[in-house]
Amino acid sequence: MHTRVGIVGAGPAGLMLAHLLHQKGIESVVLDTRTREEIEGTIRAGILEQNTVDLMTETGVGERIKRVGSVHHGIELRFGGRGHRIDFDDLTDGRGVTVYPQHEVLKDLIEQRLADGGEIRFGVSDVEVEGITGDTPSIRFTEDGAEEVLHCALVAGCDGSRTQTRSLIPHPDVRQDHFRQYPFAWFGVLVEAPPSSEELIYAHHENGFALISTRTPEVQRLYLQVDPEDSVDNWSDDRIWNELHTRVAGDDVQLKEGPIFQKSILPFRSFVCEPMQRGRLFLAGDAAHTVPPTGAKGMNLAIADVYVLARAMGEFLNRGETAALDAYTTTVLPRVWRAQHFSWWMTSMLHRMPGSSGFDLNRQLAELDTVTRSRAGRTLLAENYVGTPLE
C-alpha cells in the first residue's frame, strides 16, 4: 500500500488533517484500532472556538454545526452567591463559541472523508511506525488477520493521549515532557432535564468548583470538584443535587433537576511534549499535549495543530519546500502554551485547592472580583475563551 501521508488515529486531529490534505490534493490513509461504531459512540463534550467553526464551515464540514450547534455569546462566573456575565459579543466584536459534542464532529468528518473517497481503516491492530528518520517511513498493521504495510512520505501521530507514536521521539535524549497533575478531579453527571441556564455557569464556592454545562436541549452535563481518589459510589443522586444547589447558590439561578443516568470521575492534568516532531513524524492533538477542561481548549488545539501541519505538508509535498515542516513545533507551541496558561489560570482561579486557607479563598474571590469588575479583565478572559485567530 502506498499513500503520501499516513495518519495514525481517527480522532479530531487525524480526521481533520486528512480532510485538509484532501483539499490540497494530497492523498492520505487514516488508521485506527477502534471500530467506527466505537469512535462515533464515545460520548464527549465539545465547545468549539469561533476559529474551529469557521474553518469547518469554510472547508465544507460545518453545515450540521451551523444547523444544530448551540451558539453561546457569553459565560457566567459565579461567586459570592452572585453571577457575573462575560459578554463575548461586546468584548470580542461579535465572536462566540458553539456547544457541539466531539463525537458529532467526528461523525461529520468521517462522513465527509468517506464521501470524498478517502480511506479510513477502522479496527486495525498491531500498528507500528517505522523508518521515520529516513525518506521512506512506513506503518505496519494487522487488518482482518493479515499484516499490511503502508508506505508513505510523511507520518502524522494523532493517536490521542494514550499515544504510541510519541514514543518514537526518544525521551529524554530528544524529547522533553512537561507535566502537571492537579490535586482534584471533576465528578461529572449526565441528566435528563432542560437547561438550567442559556449559557455555561462556572461557579466558585468554598466547597469547591461546579460547572453547569449542556449537551442537548434534553440532556445536561453537570460537574462538581472532588478528590481524585473519590468514587462514584459515594455520591447518591440526593447528595449530588444538594451539593450542586449549594455551590451554585443564589436567587437569580434555579437548577432544573431530572434523572441522572451517567456518573464518572475525570482526573486533571496538563502535558506538553517538546518537540512535536522527529524526522518524517509529526504529532498533533492529545498525542502532543493535554489541557484541563476548564478552558475548553482540547479539541480546538488539535484543530489548530493540523491547520498548521496540513499547510506545511502541502508546501513540502506539492512544492518540495521544507521550511514550514521544519518549523512546525516552533510554530504551534506558542499557541499550545497560551492555552496551557489560560486553562491553568481558569482552573486555579475557580477551584478550591486542597489544604487552602481563608487567605487563599479570599485571594481567589478578590481575583474573580478584579477580573469581572474590569473591562480589561473581562476582555482578556473572553478573547482567550473564544480563541485567538489561527494565523
Sequence letter at residue 102: Q
66 has catalytic annotation: no
Beta bridge partners of 12: none
* CATH number of the 5-48+100-178+269-345 domain: 3.50.50.60
Q: Cell 451517567 appears where?
A: 262
202 has catalytic annotation: yes
What integer pLDDT is reported at residue 99 of this predicted model?
A: 95
What integer pLDDT is reported at residue 216 of this predicted model?
A: 86
Coil, helix or strand at residue 273:
strand
Domains of the chain, by residue range, sit at 5-48+100-178+269-345
State the 10-residue block means of pLDDT for the chain, 391 residues long: 97 98 98 97 90 97 95 97 96 96 96 97 98 97 97 98 97 96 96 96 97 92 97 98 95 93 94 98 98 96 98 98 98 98 97 94 97 98 96 76
293 has catalytic annotation: yes
The active-site residue, picked from 137, 297, 307, 351, is 297
The active-site residue, picked from 202, 223, 307, 328, is 202
The active-site residue, picked from 182, 307, 328, 385, is 385
Beta bridge partners of 221: 190, 213
What integer pLDDT is reported at residue 317 of this predicted model?
A: 98
DSSP string for residues in 344-377: HHHHHHHSPPTT--HHHHHHHHHHHHHHHH-HHH
Sequence letter at residue 48: L
What integer pLDDT is reported at residue 301 of this predicted model?
A: 98
297 has catalytic annotation: yes
Which residue, among 136, 25, 114, 24, has the nearest Cα to 61 in the 3D structure? Answer: 114
What integer pLDDT is reported at residue 44 of this predicted model?
A: 84
137 has catalytic annotation: no
What integer pLDDT is reported at residue 249 of this predicted model?
A: 87
What integer pLDDT is reported at residue 42 of this predicted model?
A: 86
What integer pLDDT is reported at residue 306 of this predicted model?
A: 98
Whether 149 contacts 140, CB under 8 Å = yes
Q: Cell 476548564 appears where?
A: 294
What integer pLDDT is reported at residue 69 of this predicted model?
A: 95
The active-site residue, picked from 19, 22, 72, 204, is 72
The active-site residue, picked from 293, 307, 328, 351, is 293
